[in-house]
Amino acid sequence: MENKNWYDKYYKIMFIIPIIIFLISIIYLFSFHARTGDLIYRDTSLSGGTIITLQGSYDIASLESSLKQSIPDVSIRGISELTSGREIAVIIESSVSPEQLKPAIESALNTKLTDENSSTEFSGPSLGDNFYRQLITSLIISFILMSLVIFVMFRSFIPSIAIIFAAFADIVMPLALLDYMGIKISAAGIAAFLMLIGYSVDTDILLTTRVIKKREGTVNQRIYGAFKTGIFMTITALLAVLPAFFLVTTIPDSFRQIFLILALGLFADILNTWFTNAGIIKWYAGKKGLN
Amino acid sequence: MAKLTIRIWILIIALVLAALMISPTFKTGVVIKSVEKNSTAFNQGIKSGMIIKEINGQEISSLEDYSQAISTAFTSDESRIDIKTENENFVFLAHNLSEITVGKIPVTKIKTGLDLSGGARAIIRPENATVSESQINDLVSITSERLNAFGLSDVTVRPAKDLEGNNFMIVEIAGTTPADIRDLLGSQGKFEAKIGNETVFEGGERDIADVCRSDASCASITGCSPLAEGGYSCTFQFAVYLRDVAAQKHADITRNLPLDSTGQYLTEKLYLYVDDQEVDSLLISSGLRGQVTTQISIQGSGTGATQEEALKNTQSDMNRLQTILLTGSLPYKLEIVKLDTISPKLGAEFTKGIFTLAISVFLIISVVLFIKYRKIKLTFAVILTMFSEAMITLAIAALIRWNLDAASIAGIIAGMGVGVNDQIVIIDEAVSGKGGNESIKEKVKRALFIIVGAFFTIVAAMLPLLWAGAGMLRGFALTTIIGVSVGILITRPAFADIVKKIEG
């Protein structure tokens, strides 16, 4: 069994790779926090401000340069249909109130904004802080509840901690990456992190159950069997979330971010489950004399 | 054909119930969305929810037909409108039907949220005041009354509480948003009419018996004219009927006021304030001095860049003032902490995108499953299960009258993702690994352990979202939890049996 020998030889190295990525992510998040005083870049739904979505196609570059004169922190991006290239809307975001942003856009485009041609989302700064705080609290509660479920399921310390660590790393890695790319996270985005907590442990539960509770085959065979099932699960899930980027782009931004974060989390989960968690569970099975 | 098991029957029954719940209709006509209380139509028994089929013998199958028929009736010589609904006929001796608002007949009972159907949503809290739940409830009832008086039909106003115990009021208005939504919702609406420093009357029931609104003889826009500095200005006028106490007060205050130099008016004017801002001042004619008068005429004006715009703004200013006079002041100063207005057109664009997305996800998963298992029946079973889960989740959403916003739909898709994962576990555990020294029973038990574990972790993870942030993301958590629950209780057991039958 070549396969077996190969895994026995390299599983410790494989175990280390995600740990290193995890540590880099943690260090990055610490320095990010020291620099910005926050863990993420918050979008206007969490920091306060206005998002105006204008229907139709516009010259984004010239609109941006003329808006920047009066509102320096404005940011603009377009949404277009990927298949036909048809531009359907422009999203304009800023920390100012709609009373300031609207007239600026109106004078830049020389058209009047109505509730027919545009959508306006305004969040007050106090509410943004409030939302943010609560979503972070929810995230922590969510993580604790998930951990409890895992402990109740497996009733042994090391396998449970391995799963919980994988779930934690599934959050930390995408978070660091989003910060690195400078992506602003919305309230819906944080909700996606909560879902990730529940979603990503599927494969870890599968792995641990197969190794601990199955009596057929060797530990390596069981890990490999779990891998075959689990990686297919993750690939299917990834394929379900990816069309939101590559196929259908005319969907609300909040909706899209949910899928982006789930996709990043699922990628991270491949590493954290099949490199780290698998390594720990293999070591644990060896120690307990399971074979 | 093999006999169907109880679990498969449960799935079939659930699907039938779901179809009934969603109940697609193919009816033509327009549905009545609201009828103004105590209007002629209301008294004749026209109710919201009725479907109009014909007006004056003309068939109505769309909103365009309706407005066509109404404008024909408006310009016709005869002052009579015949309405035929599904089961009844009504006759109105009038030229128009402004007391009725109509809309398209919804195709299903599934309701979409504001971000997909268009409309406005505001989260409001009293400024600098921590308020109790009962105080928020008072605020909610006054605001509802005010919005109804303003003439908005499809409105919900409800209290909300967040994880930190803050109380909010959430207002949702479907369809097109009134232009001055911020003033309408955010201002306290404290109306005062003063002479000198003395208050003659205030807005609200205590001082105001009635306000003339839809009757053109006592409430109207009196004229428009261009302004010297550009733009237009229009004026309005409407009658207010005071209660005796307020009328008496007016008499007492004016009794000792001198006449001005012309002798036509008193030296003091009647000043009108809304939220401590002067909105207008009225001359008091000499004949009213010391008189107990219950009818007062209120005037005001509105401006706009074009005459049309000025007219619209004036109409809306008048409407707002009438509303404030009728319903009185809110108990607190308010702060709008969130205000979203979504264009119905953009919402339609997004809805289309989400549908396309859901269909692509379906197709992609089908293809991937087929490539992996190379069995058409098995692939079909997974797809059928996914479809059933989505359908039952939608039906439950319709049942609890949940408005599906974009996040709720993301929750449904994510729930389907969990479902597919579980089915892969079932297939791999119980079917593909046939043989070996474990019994099929042990394998199924293990698959169940994994699935139940995954179920509880996702529910545990989503639970806190039901309360966080005034419930703004509740839809996401709710549909995910419904979806995975439907999966574990109904579709998963049926799927396991279907797989057993397919694999023999």
The answer to whether the CB atoms of A194 and B461 lie below 8 A apart is yes
Q: Tell whether A162 and A262 lie within a shared domain.
A: yes
Q: How confident is the model at residue B432 (pLDDT cuts 50, 70, 90)?
A: low
pLDDT in tens, B225-256: 888 888 889 999 898 998 988 888 888 888 88
Check residue A275 and give its pLDDT.
94
Q: Which residues of chain A have pLDDT under 70?
A: 1-4, 290-291
Give the C-alpha separation, B295 to B208, whole Å: 10
Which domain CATH number covers A271? 1.20.1640.10
Give the C-alpha separation, B20 to B6, whole Å: 21
Instruction: For residue B53, give Cα distances in angstroms to A132, B39, B66, B83, B191.
Output: 50, 21, 9, 8, 44
Where is the domain boundary, B289, B315, B342?
B342
Residue B184 has pLDDT above 90, yes or no: no
Q: B284 to chain A nearest CA, in Å?
A: 37
The answer to whether the CB atoms of B457 and A124 lie below 8 A apart is no
Which domain CATH number covers B141? 3.30.70.3400
Check residue B437 and give its pLDDT.
65
pLDDT in tens, B366-410: 899 899 888 888 888 888 898 899 999 999 998 888 888 888 888
pLDDT in tens, B276-317: 888 888 888 888 888 888 888 888 888 888 888 888 888 888
Q: What is the mean pLDDT of chain B?
A: 83
Q: A76 to chain B nearest CA, in Å?
A: 17
Q: B173 to chain A nearest CA, in Å?
A: 13
Asked if A113 reaches chain B (Cβ–Cβ under 8 Å), the answer is no
A172's enclosing H/E stretch is helix A157-181
Q: Tell whether B69 and B174 lie within a shared domain.
A: no
| B1 lies in some domain | no
| Cβ(B372)–Cβ(B382) below 8 Å | no
pLDDT in tens, B107-155: 777 888 888 888 888 888 887 667 777 788 888 888 887 787 777 767 8
Residue of chain A whose alpha carbon sits nearest to that of B409: A255
Check residue B284 and give its pLDDT.
85
Give the C-alpha separation, B307 to B309, whole Å: 5
Look at strands B111-112 and B403-404 and give their pairing: parallel
Where is the domain boundary, B104, B131, B151?
B104
Give the C-alpha separation, B423 to B296, whole Å: 74
Strand partners for A291: none
Q: What is the DSSP secondary structure assignment for residue B82, as one 8-state letter?
A: E
Residue B204 has pLDDT above 80, yes or no: yes
Check residue B456 and give its pLDDT.
94
Residue B486 has pLDDT above 90, yes or no: yes
Where is the domain boundary, A106, A123, A140?
A123
Q: Tell whether A109 and A130 lie within a shared domain.
A: no
Check residue A1 and give its pLDDT.
43
Range of the domain at B240: 191-329
The answer to whether the CB atoms of B350 and A251 lie below 8 A apart is yes
Check residue A171 and give its pLDDT.
95
Please give the tally of structural domains in chain A: 2
pLDDT in tens, A132-190: 888 999 999 999 999 999 999 999 999 999 999 999 999 999 999 999 999 999 988 99
Q: Tell whether B244 and B364 lie within a shared domain.
A: no
Q: Tell whether A205 and A137 lie within a shared domain.
A: yes
Check residue A199 and give its pLDDT.
83
Q: Tell whether A142 and A176 lie within a shared domain.
A: yes
Q: Tell whether A17 and A159 lie within a shared domain.
A: yes
Residue B191 has pLDDT above 50, yes or no: yes
Which residue from A145, A196, A157, A173 is spatially nearest to A281, judged by alpha carbons?
A157
Check residue A2 and give its pLDDT.
47
Interface predicted TM-score of the whole assembly (ipTM), two decimals: 0.88
Q: How confident is the model at residue B2 (pLDDT cuts 50, 70, 90)?
A: low
The answer to whether the CB atoms of B337 and A124 lie below 8 A apart is yes
Range of the domain at A79: 49-123
Q: Tell whether A68 and A153 lie within a shared domain.
A: no
Q: A223 to chain B nearest CA, in Å?
A: 13
Residue B74 has pLDDT above 90, yes or no: no
pTM comes to 0.80
Q: Tell whether B409 and B484 lie within a shared domain.
A: yes
Residues of B in contact with A145 (CB under 8 A): 460-461, 463-464
The answer to whether the CB atoms of A127 and B410 lie below 8 A apart is no
Please give the tally of structural domains in chain B: 4
Q: Tell whether A189 and A267 lie within a shared domain.
A: yes
Chain A 17-46, residues with CB within 8 Å of chain B CB atoms: none
Check residue A3 and give its pLDDT.
53
